[in-house]
């Protein structure tokens, strides 16, 4: 089965971040659309070199545009990627320098937490710029750590997809979870509460075994998690988890996880389709976090967040239905849906 598809191209602006005094080194990528200011979190990670960091920023920014589009948010896609210094550094000074860089963009980019950053880091950024979210919530307003909302959207997406794809609810379903950080661990707790069996893996062995003890999960090595006998594979670590080898060796019929940019290359979607494995695009199911960030930045309350997050699972159900009817990969169908939203927004712009 083939699914010919060519994604739309877009211009990405990369802002170089370099402040030797604080150790700040990285990029802010702004994915050019007409949806609004760029919004997306700040990732703080150890990259081999600057080109790796830049490439990751560009990929993540594109994903954020599509995520924001399908979630109905008035933002385009952006991402900050900061290289973690390989020597001692002053974390406060580094994030102050990042905050100054965000401020210089004058609202073109709104930042928040991502992998490697926290509410405390965003509070430091907020001392330098008002264009930041993921801060402790004020009375009556959305805010705080967005990861629980991300986990909720992924969990509810998995629930509806299990019914459609596996023909059953999550009771007794085996889920292999790759990565049990903030979002992955929250997802595991929700799955355990729903009666699922868990197999988990994480590069942090202590964290992994502590969660396994709490939930009665099985633990395997990071290099084994994608090939264990499981009904569902949930990538919740870094991107690129789904390469051709993984796609050819997966045992389950459903992929639903919180990690961004899960497909290592575009041809992986075709292999999954050919094998009858339903891949739920990450930016569709993991939109809960940016929904919370958006509501906080716009001054909305948690009720608005809950309503928008509750719409993720029905959107997933409609996506699966359309993909099956057309005999196409959900990845390609979702891209087209997002691009249509972007095109409609562009047409609404004054000439």
DSSP line for 224-284: TGGGSS-SEEEE-SSS--B-HHHHHH--SSEE--S-SS-BSSTHHHHHHHHTT-EE--HHH
Q: Is the pLDDT of residue 79 over 90?
A: yes
Residue 67 catalytic?
no
Element (H, E) at 39: strand 38-39
- What contacts 281, CB < 8 A, 6 or more positions away? 66, 319, 330, 331, 334, 335
- Non-local (6+) Cβ contacts of 25 within 8 A are 17, 18, 19, 50, 53, 82, 83, 85
* Mean pLDDT, range 56-64, rounded to an integer: 94
* H/E element, 313: helix 312-326
Q: Encoding tokens for residue 36?
A: 């609004």
Structure tokens at 128: 């330098």
CB contact at 8 A, 78 and 39:
yes
Which of the residues 54, 67, 79, 253 is marked catalytic? 79
**Confidence (pLDDT) at 2:** 55
- Contacts of residues 263-269 at CB distance under 8 Å and 24 or more positions apart, as own/partner, are 263/331, 264/239, 264/240, 266/7, 268/242, 268/243, 268/244, 269/3, 269/329, 269/331, 269/332
Residues 4-44: tens digit of each pLDDT: 555 555 678 999 999 999 999 999 999 976 789 999 999 99
Confidence of residue 347 (pLDDT cuts 50, 70, 90): confident
When pLDDT is averaged across residues 42-58 and rounded to a whole number, the result is 95
Both tokens of residue 14? 């990369």
pLDDT band at 351 (very low <50, low <70, confident <90, very high): low
Q: In 3D, which of 58, 47, 46, 80 has the Cα closest to residue 9?
A: 58
Q: What does the pLDDT average to over 277-295?
A: 96
Question: How much of the chain, in percent, has pLDDT values that exceed 70?
Answer: 96
Pick the closest to residue 41 from 293, 301, 264 (CA basis). 293
pLDDT bucket at 121, cuts 50 / 70 / 90: very high
Model pTM score: 0.91
* Mean pLDDT, the chain, integer: 94
Q: What is the pLDDT of residue 157?
A: 98
Give the residue among 45, 50, 60, 77 at the shortest CA–CA distance from 342. Answer: 77
Q: DSSP letter at 122? A: H
Whether 1 shows a pLDDT value over 90: the answer reads no
Query: Tokens 């084994």 belong to which residue?
Result: 224
Local confidence band at 50 (pLDDT 50, 70, 90 cut-offs): very high
């Amino acid at each position: 089965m083939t699914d010919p598809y060519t994604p739309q191209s877009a211009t990405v602006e990369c802002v170089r971040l370099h402040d030797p005094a604080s150790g700040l080194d990285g990029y802010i990528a702004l994915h050019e659309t007409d949806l609004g200011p760029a919004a997306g979190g700040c990732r703080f990670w150890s990259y081999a070199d600057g080109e790796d960091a830049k490439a990751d920023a560009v990929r993540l920014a594109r994903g954020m545009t599509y995520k924001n589009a399908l979630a109905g948010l008035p933002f385009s896609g952006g991402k900050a990627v900061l290289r973690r210094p390989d020597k001692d550094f002053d974390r406060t000074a580094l994030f102050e320098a990042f905050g100054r860089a965000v401020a210089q963009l004058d609202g073109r980019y709104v930042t928040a937490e991502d992998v490697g950053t926290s509410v405390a880091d965003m509070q430091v950024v907020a001392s330098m710029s008002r264009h930041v979210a993921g801060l402790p919530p004020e009375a009556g307003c959305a805010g705080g750590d967005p990861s629980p909302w991300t986990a909720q959207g992924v969990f509810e997406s998995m629930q509806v997809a299990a019914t459609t794809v596996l023909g059953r609810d999550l009771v007794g379903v085996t889920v292999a979870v790759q990565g049990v950080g903030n979002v992955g661990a929250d997802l595991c707790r929700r799955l355990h509460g729903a009666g699922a069996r868990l197999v988990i893996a994480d590069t942090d062995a202590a964290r992994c075994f502590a969660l396994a003890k709490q939930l009665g999960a099985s633990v395997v090595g990071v290099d084994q998690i994608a090939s264990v006998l499981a009904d569902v594979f949930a990538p919740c670590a870094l991107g690129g988890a789904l390469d051709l080898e993984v796609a050819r060796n997966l045992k389950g019929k459903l992929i639903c996880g919180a990690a961004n940019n899960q497909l290592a290359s575009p041809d992986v979607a075709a292999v999954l389709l050919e094998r009858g494995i339903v891949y739920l695009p990450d930016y569709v199911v993991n939109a809960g976090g940016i929904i919370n960030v958006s509501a906080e930045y716009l001054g909305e309350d948690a009720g608005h967040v809950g309503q928008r997050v509750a719409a993720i699972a029905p959107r997933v159900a409609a996506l699966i239905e359309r993909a099956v009817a057309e005999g196409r990969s959900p990845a390609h169908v979702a891209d087209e849906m997002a691009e249509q939203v972007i095109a409609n927004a562009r047409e609404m712009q004054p000439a």
